[in-house]
Structure 1
Amino acid sequence: MPRQIFQVKVTLADVLPEVWRRVEVPGGYTLDRVHRVVQHAMGWQDYHLHSFEVDGVQYGEPDPDGELAVRDELDVRLDAVAHKGTRLLYTYDFGDWWEHELLVEDVFVAEPDERYPRCVAGQRSCPPEDVGGAFGYAELLVALRDPAHPQHAHLRGWVGRGFDAEEFDAVRASTLLRRLT
């Protein structure tokens, strides 16, 4: 049977202008591998916990104490819980609470000479880790745009001179995704 590829649009919630990526992921990937695809495509560093929600069911790393009802993401393949039109909720960093909508836009047969996963499009840089969620990120952007802002120099130093909220490079993201194969 030909390998199915899921075209997924990953959109970061509560951030304007929108930060999003379009990735092509093998349907046979477990949700743990889909997590790593989102991390690399978005630009996160995988420093924090995460979870998926699909049709009201939570998936993630099992709770060693058994207190949380989370199904093991290592046991669930993308093609077992999703199809064209499915929306998955992916939450990263339970402190900053970054929610992402993963919309399966299409499902198609893999191109024989193409390597997957890959990032085919996107817009804007991912917010830096530990910035304080969507509210903290909005404050960061205001301070970075205004050299007279009292926090401008401090936050520019914290985020680094190379950070540009408008920048995104799909080729670089695909290069990072190739490490997953």
Structure 2
Amino acid sequence: MKAYQIRIELVGSKPLIWRQVTIPADVTFKRLHDTVQFAMDWWDRHLYKFEFPQEKLRITNDEEAYEEYKFYQKKYTGKALTKRNDPHGFIAQALETAIRQPQTVKIDRYLERYKTITYIYDFGDNWQHKIELEKILEDYGFGYPTILEGEGACPPEDVGGISGYEEFLRAWDNPKHPEHEEMRQWGESQHYRPFDIVFRNDLLKTCLKIKKVK
């Protein structure tokens, strides 16, 4: 089966947190999202989006934004927006970027065309991921993604983005830090743990298997 070897990097992390993954080509952006979540060790608690500014396209699970876009698209298709019906330009702004649902769009055309995709998870903490196509494979033998290599523990959910994670690590790594014990307890409650490639691959195989390959 055709597949892609991709590299996922958490932008701004130092040392860099990354995974190299092989994923079947015939999957949707929802499955790519699931793959990032399992591979990185996120917990899928927040909204996410893939952005393609070249095509003025956003692929997201933000249902409110999607429904707003569909409403305005249906109401104003074929109609001119004027100062009268859109005095502040909100409708024009809402229609400027098309919004699609991740379970309805496949990754192949976009990944092969652009080579690099931006994926943002948790709009508050704003975890930006760079997903880069490294290689196209024609004989991948599994119906699920596989992590080939990777480094770095995933930050805890809701830690406050890159800057919050840096503060967290200062307390986590230093027994003399005044918040060391408190941060240790909180980090453990948030399942902060070292990257375990065997465990991550078991999850990918168990949870994301799409079909048997003869």
Q: Give TM-score, length-normalised by structure 1.
A: 0.89
Secondary structure at 1:127's aligned position in 2?
Answer: coil
Q: 1:116 aligns with which of 120, 144, 155?
A: 144
Find runs of 4+ consecutive structure 1 residues off by over 4 angstroms: none
Tell me the alpha carbon deviations over residues 77-99 of structure 1, each in whole angstroms, 9 at most, x when there is no partner: 11121128700000000000000
Q: Given the alignment, which residue of 128, 132, 136 partners 2:164?
A: 136
Structure 1 match to 2:60: 60
Deviations along 1:97-116, one digit per CA (max 9) or x if unpaired, are 0000000100111334x442
Q: What SS is found at the alignment partner of 1:14?
A: coil
Counterpart AA for 2:181: A
Written as runs of structure 1 = structure 2, the 5 A alignment for 1:49-128 is: 49-56=47-54, 57-61=57-61, 62=63, 63-66=66-69, 67=94, 69-83=98-112, 86-112=115-141, 114-128=142-156
Identity level (%): 35
Amino acid at match of 2:146: R
- Partners of 1:130 and 1:72 lie apart in 2 by 24
CA distance, structure 2, for counterparts of residue 76 and residue 163 of structure 1: 32
Q: What's the CA shift string for 1:2-48, capped at 9, x where partnerless?
A: x2101110000111000001111111110011000000000000000
**Cα distance per residue 1:138-169 (max 9 Å; x no partner):** 001011121121211111110118744xx322
Structure 2 counterpart SS, 1:106:
strand
Shift of 1:174: 1.1
User: How far apart are the structure 2 equivalents of 1:147 and 1:131?
Assistant: 19
User: By percentage of residues, which structure has more helix?
Assistant: 2
Contact 1:85 1:106 in 2 (8 A): no
Q: Is the 8 A contact 2:38 2:203 kept in 1?
A: yes
Confirm whether residue 41 of structure 1 aligns to residue 70 of structure 2: no
Between Structure 1 and Structure 2, how many residues are aligned? 176
| Contact 2:30–2:103 (8 Å) recurs in 1 | yes
Q: Which moved more, 1:146-155 or 1:36-45?
A: 146-155
Greater strand percent: which structure? 1
The alignment's TM-score, normalised by the length of structure 2, stands at 0.76
Give the aligned residue type for 1:6.
Y
Match of 2:179 in 1: 151
Distance, in Å, in 1 between the alignment partners of 2:7 and 2:185 is 32
CA contact (8 A) 1:85 1:105 kept: no
The structure with more radius of gyration: 2
Distance 1:38 1:75 in 2: 18
Do residues 169 (structure 1) and 167 (structure 2) align? Answer: no
Q: 1:145 to 1:121 in 2, by over 3 A?
A: same
